[in-house]
Amino acid sequence: MLPHIWTPDALRSEHRAIDCTAWRLVEAQHVVATLGLVDTLDEQGLLEDILEDTKPPMPDDCRGLDYLLYTPFRYRPYPHGSRFRRAGWTPGVWYGAEHPETAVAEMVFYRFLFYAESPATVFPDAPADYTAFSVDVVTERGLDLTTGRLAGSSADWMQLTDYAACQTLADTARETGVALIRYTSVRDPDARANLAVLTCTAFKDRAPQQRQSWHIRINANGAQAVRDHPRSGLEFGRDAFLDDPRVANMIWDR
């Protein structure tokens, strides 16, 4: 069945104000990635400045933001398409979630996908360290795919592997000035909301406001995710994402 095509005029009638907190997970070594290459903090600062000069120019609306916020908007071409971004020389999208647990579920899925596509790669002995960080986002021109007329096309927005409808929607949304899209996570077992930030103007904060330390271990039983403070844990068994054909035939015994 072909997805419903939303025209710019139809989407304008669906604009909604969105004001919430978004969480994102990154590998913890992002903080000290260059520290092992130098002897002092001054040398690290110099190395970071040199690296900065080699990077693509910063989009004007992202200037002054922390790199954890602007990075998805800076680097092109985009090698592979994602739910709301086409592959190639396309505008950036920053993906987050309304709850840190949803961000963890998204990260675990993509770790499963990595190992499903790399059957000869052994599981690591130790858990990997991640930082969950939050930032407030706000816009008067948002789209909420979980309510109203847009929710009637939820089958299009919640496709597991075919992102064509979402990418087309994002293209049209940009034409109408949309800065933020709220949609249901297909990875979170509780089906909580994700957020796709289409422009840096949607960030209410200039830098992350809260941080959490998470440790995620992938093994033959699935994944175990543990948060330090406040202490919490999540488990994802082998069958956590069986609906997705890309991980359904995962080789667990390796």
pLDDT of residue 4 exceeding 90, the answer is no
Given a cut of 60, whether residue 1 has pLDDT beyond it is: no
- What is the arithmetic mean of pLDDT over 46-69? 86
Residue type, 49: D
CA distances from 15 to 95, 141, 144 (A): 19, 5, 8
Q: For the chain, which residues make up each domain, given as ranges?
A: 8-248
- Look up the pTM and report it: 0.91
* pLDDT tier at 48, thresholds 50, 70, 90: confident
Residues linked to residue 78 through DSSP beta bridges, in sequence order = 88
| 214 burial level (CB within 10 Å; 0-12, 13-18, 19+) | buried
